Amino acid sequence: MKGVLIIDDEVEIRELLEYNLQKNGFSTFMAANGKEGLDTLEENKHKIDLVLLDVMMPVMDGIEVCEMIRKEPKYDDVLICFLTARNEDYSQVAGLDAGADDYISKPLKPKVLISRINALLRRNGSRQRKIEDSHGLTINREKYIVTLNGEVIQLPRKEFELLALLNSKPGVVFEREQILSSVWGDGIVVGDRTIDVHVRKLREKLGAHYIQTVKGVGYKFVGNTVV
Comparing 96 with 215, the larger pLDDT belongs to: 215
**Tens digit of pLDDT for each residue in 96-131?**
778 888 888 888 888 989 998 998 888 765 544 444
Position 129 scores a pLDDT of 45
* pTM of the predicted model as reported, rounded to 2 decimal places: 0.57
Q: Is the pLDDT of residue 86 over 80?
A: no
pLDDT tier at 43, thresholds 50, 70, 90: very high
Lowest mean pLDDT among 9-13, 107-111, 159-163, 201-205: 107-111
Half-sphere exposure of 218 (CA within 13 A, CB side): 15
Between 185 and 52, name the one with better pLDDT: 52
Q: How far, in Å, CA of 227 to CA of 53, rounded? A: 44
Residue 223 confidence (pLDDT): 66
Highest mean pLDDT among 31-35, 89-93, 141-145: 31-35
Residue 88: which residues within 8 A CB-CB, separation 6 or more?
Answer: 55, 105
Q: What is the pLDDT of residue 222?
A: 86
> Residue range 80-109: average pLDDT?
76
Per-residue pLDDT reduced to its tens digit, 151-183: 888 898 899 989 988 988 888 899 998 898 888
- The number of CA neighbours under 13 Å toward the Cβ of 31 is 28
For residues 27 and 50, is the Cβ–Cβ distance under 8 A? no
What whole-number distance in Å separates Cα of residue 3 and Cα of residue 170? 32
Rounded distance, CA 126 to CA 121, Å? Answer: 9
pLDDT band at 90 (very low <50, low <70, confident <90, very high): low
Here the contacts of 174-182 (C-beta below 8 Å, separation 24 or greater) are 174/218, 174/219, 174/220, 175/217, 175/218, 176/217, 176/218, 178/218, 179/218, 179/219, 181/119, 182/119, 182/122, 182/123
**How far is Cα 187 from Cα 155, in angstroms, rounded to an integer?**
24
Please provide the average confidence, as pLDDT, over all residues in the chain.
84
| Residue 30 phi, psi (nearest 5) | -125, 145
* Complete edge-to-edge strand list for the sheet that includes strand 102-106: 27-31, 3-7, 50-54, 79-85, 102-106
Average pLDDT over residues 74-103: 76
Written as one string, the DSSP assignment of 147-216 is EETTEEE---HHHHHHHHHHHTSTTPPEEHHHHIIIII-TT----TTHHHHHHHHHHHHH-TTSEEEETT
pLDDT at 64: 93
The answer to whether the beta carbons of residues 100 and 64 sit under 8 Å apart is: no
120: how many CB neighbours lie within 10 A of its CB? 20
Q: Tell me, what's the pLDDT at 188?
A: 67
For the chain, what percent of residues have pLDDT higher than 90?
42
pLDDT at 132 (0 to 100): 42
Position with higher pLDDT, 82 vs 145: 82
